[in-house]
Chain A
Amino acid sequence: MAGLAGAVLCAATGFVLISLAWPKGSWFKSELLLKLSLGVGCGLGLFSFLYLLSLVFSVPAKTLAATEVVIFVLLSILLWIRGHNLHDQKLLQYTADMSSGLLGQTLRASFVVTLIGALHRCLKELATNPQGIGWDAFAIWNLHARFLFRGGEHWKDGFSSLIPWFHPDYPLFLPGSVAHFWSYLGRETTAVPATLAFAFTFSTVALLFSAVAVLRGRNHGLLAGLMLLGTPSFLRQGVSQYADIPLSFFLLAAIALLVPVIEALTESVAVIVRLPEVFSVALNWPLPLVRVESGGSAARPSLLLKCTVPA
């Protein structure tokens, strides 16, 4: 129960944080799946960082949990205040291709079937190998988590050069997340790394689907999600509990969030390029950019600028 409450708190904090950072967005309605999938990574990032701080400053687990609840409440109040001061606008004013034609139906059906198959297989795989598959899972990531959780004040012992394969330079995000949930539960269980692996694998799919759907339309999103779900090596990596899938999640998140920024910048550049046109309209000044098409005795408005240029 404590683990479930911790997971919900983590995801909710991530969602609130993402909603706060969302540009001019309504805090709940728009791009919900995109925000939810981003929120999972964001919440885990924040919580693993807080857990590491609690280790550094020897903060008890209960104090850490209380701090996290306070952070969530404060962020929620901030979001509520912000929500009241903003209009409901979306990241992209997109006319989504909600095509219910044969193409859309085929994609939707294929996506659902593939998703069910992938879910079934991944759950089966995680039930058989809850400690992960392959070397990195147990010899690096879950071992780091054990040092963080079991070590107490001596958690830094794991960074000893006596363990040659330990890779002390590797980020503590994944082991920190695992150890944090163990501290919520008060015991070690293989269900935590297995659940995290599952969450990251399907959050990556949800992120790809929702980001492409928001940026290019639902059918494009379905197609992208379908291709990812139909890649067994991706799913295998996901359930292996390696760090590659969490890394790919954050890279994808960065790309997905950069695309609208780049598009907005491109738009701004276009505006700057067109500034002379705008000024020519304002000043009624015939610049070389302006095409004047004369017909009869009166000058016709330029097709380019849709303005009347003095003869």
Chain B
Amino acid sequence: MITQTKVRRDPRKVLQIRIAVAAVALFSLLSTGWFVFEPVKQFQPAGTPLPEYDKRFEELRKRLPPHGVVGYLGIGWDSGYQLPAYYATQYALAPVVVENSLQPELVVGNFATPPAPATTTWPANLLPIQNFGNGVVLFAKRHN
């Protein structure tokens, strides 16, 4: 058992302590006030809020096998969004592993703007299986 006792302090010290405590309280209040009134920004890793990005891949998820590895093809993204778009695709499609290559049998095409089927030239080694119309296209590897 530990016991502690109060220490009688010098009145000048007490004043100094009060000033220090008041300063801490004041700065904490000011800091919190600044934080409270700061505008709240929505996190958009690939230029779109994550819930919307999740919805974008909802239909594709139903078409994919429940587990396994799929490839990834990201087209038309700004350089700043290229990698975040890939990360967000993996987040949306988990537990399917999204490999950043065109080697797997199935490849997920993630276009920044929905491709027009009539004018778009698909990669030669990929065969489009389904275009979901929102920039998401499922490809299969073309075997010669």
Report A's interface with B, CB cutoff 8 A. Answer: 89, 92-95, 97, 102-103, 106-107, 110, 113-114, 117-118, 120-121, 124-125, 128-135, 138-139, 142-143, 146-147, 150-152, 154-155, 157-158, 160, 162-163, 165, 190, 223, 226-227, 229-232, 235, 260, 263-264, 267
In the bound complex, do residue B4 and residue A113 qualify as a contact, i.e. CB atoms below 8 Å apart? no
Specify which of B17, B50, B91 is in contact with A146 (CB 8 Å cutoff): B91
Say yes or no: A103-B21 contact (C-beta < 8 A), given A95-B5, A143-B91.
yes
Q: Which residues of A contact B6 (CB under 8 A)?
A: 95, 97
Q: Which residues of A contact B95 (CB under 8 A)?
A: 146-147, 150-152, 154-155, 157-158
- Closest-by-CB residue of A relative to B33 is A117
Q: Mark B36-69, 1 if CB is under 8 A from A, else 0.
A: 1010111101000011000000000000001111
Say yes or no: A163-B29 contact (C-beta < 8 A), given A138-B45, A154-B67.
no
In the bound complex, do residue A106 and residue B40 qualify as a contact, i.e. CB atoms below 8 Å apart? no
3 A-B pairs with least C-beta separation: A230-B28, A151-B95, A110-B25
In the bound complex, do residue B66 and residue A143 qualify as a contact, i.e. CB atoms below 8 Å apart? no
Chain B interfacial residues counted at CB < 8 A? 42
Q: Which residues of B contact A92 (CB under 8 A)?
A: 1-4
In the bound complex, do residue A107 and residue B45 qualify as a contact, i.e. CB atoms below 8 Å apart? no
Specify which of A138, A158, A223 is in contact with B97 (CB 8 Å cutoff): A158
Interface residues in B23-39 by Cβ distance below 8 A to A read: 24-25, 27-29, 31-36, 38
Interface presence of B126 (CB below 8 A): no
Give the CA-CA distance A264 to B2 in the complex, in Å: 7
Interface presence of B73 (CB below 8 A): no
Give the CA-CA distance A231 to B32 in the complex, in Å: 7
Specify which of A134, A150, A229 is in contact with B94 (CB 8 Å cutoff): A150
Give the CA-CA distance A103 to B15 in the complex, in Å: 10
Q: How far is the CB of B78 from chain A (nearest CB, A)?
A: 17
In the bound complex, do residue A110 and residue B29 qualify as a contact, i.e. CB atoms below 8 Å apart? yes
Q: Which of A92, A113, A129 has the most CB of B within 10 A?
A: A129
In the bound complex, do residue B35 and residue A110 qualify as a contact, i.e. CB atoms below 8 Å apart? no
In the bound complex, do residue A131 and residue B22 qualify as a contact, i.e. CB atoms below 8 Å apart? no
Say yes or no: A133-B66 contact (C-beta < 8 A), given A106-B25, A114-B28, A229-B32.
no
Report 6 cross-chain contacts, Cβ distance below 8 Å, ordered by A residue.
Answer: A103-B21, A114-B29, A151-B94, A160-B69, A223-B24, A232-B34
Q: Which residues of A contact B102 (CB under 8 A)?
A: none
In the bound complex, do residue A143 and residue B51 qualify as a contact, i.e. CB atoms below 8 Å apart? no
Specify which of B1, B51, B67 is in contact with A93 (CB 8 Å cutoff): B1
Known: A106-B21, A157-B68. 16 other contacts (CB 8 A): A107-B21, A110-B25, A110-B28, A114-B28, A114-B32, A121-B35, A128-B40, A131-B43, A133-B43, A134-B43, A147-B95, A165-B87, A223-B21, A230-B24, A230-B27, A232-B34
